[in-house]
Amino acid sequence: MRSKSQLAVFLSKLPVFTSPKAYLEQYSTDSEVAADVLWNAYLLGDVSNKVVADLGAGTGILGRGCLELQAKKVFFLEKDESLIKVLEQTAKEGVILNRDITEFDKKVDTVIMNPPFGVQKRKADKVFLEKAILNAKVVYMLGKVEGDGFVDAIAKEHGAKITHRWKYSMPLKATQKFHTKKKHLVEVMCWRVVIMQ
């Protein structure tokens, strides 16, 4: 990929959720936001030649983006069995792990993830962040802007440090029954957390 916009176009053609499950908080990351997050990670040296994990990979947009940016290896962890066929298409030579986040045990350089926001299931985001911090050197996590205090607290608890925060207005398509508007914008943040070793 030669540019962020080329990456965004590529990502926009990947599959998204067709029948998302609310209790697993299945929302696809918008391709423009995904491209921005991935490009930042790439420029900071956290993707090329690195072992990366996409935790709660969904249809695989973030992990696939890493492969396009020359990651050495990418793990796609996803609990929902019904997504594995889609992931097999998206993940290319990546390694698909069809398991729950609590069973993630690979040591990696970088985690890039858009996990459940913990709205449907409280603390779902906490489990993801702690797992990521324990298994990576640097973590990129997308979440609700309101989660800033919580991310900061967990990072501190583990001797990790937030080095960057990027804010986005992310379009969410009305894929769930309880959504009333066709499309609405959600304020999200991407945190870069560096783990001290």
Residues in contact with ligand SAH by CB under 6 A are 24-29, 56-58, 61-62, 77-80, 100-101, 114-116, 124
Q: Is 42:69 a contact under the CB 8 Å cutoff?
A: yes
Pick the closer one to ligand SAH by CB: 115 or 147.
115
CB of 52 to ligand SAH, least distance (A): 13
Pick the closer one to ligand SAH by CB: 121 or 161.
121
Residue with tokens 């990546």: 94
| CA separation for the pair 26, 59 (Å, rounded) | 10
CB of 196 to ligand SAH, least distance (A): 26
Q: Please, which contacts does 176-180 make with residues 24 or more away whose CB atoms are closer than 8 Å?
A: 176/20, 176/22, 177/22, 178/22
Pick the closer one to ligand SAH by CB: 52 or 57.
57
Pick the closer one to ligand SAH by CB: 116 or 147.
116
Q: Is 87:60 a contact under the CB 8 Å cutoff?
A: yes
CB of 41 to ligand SAH, least distance (A): 14
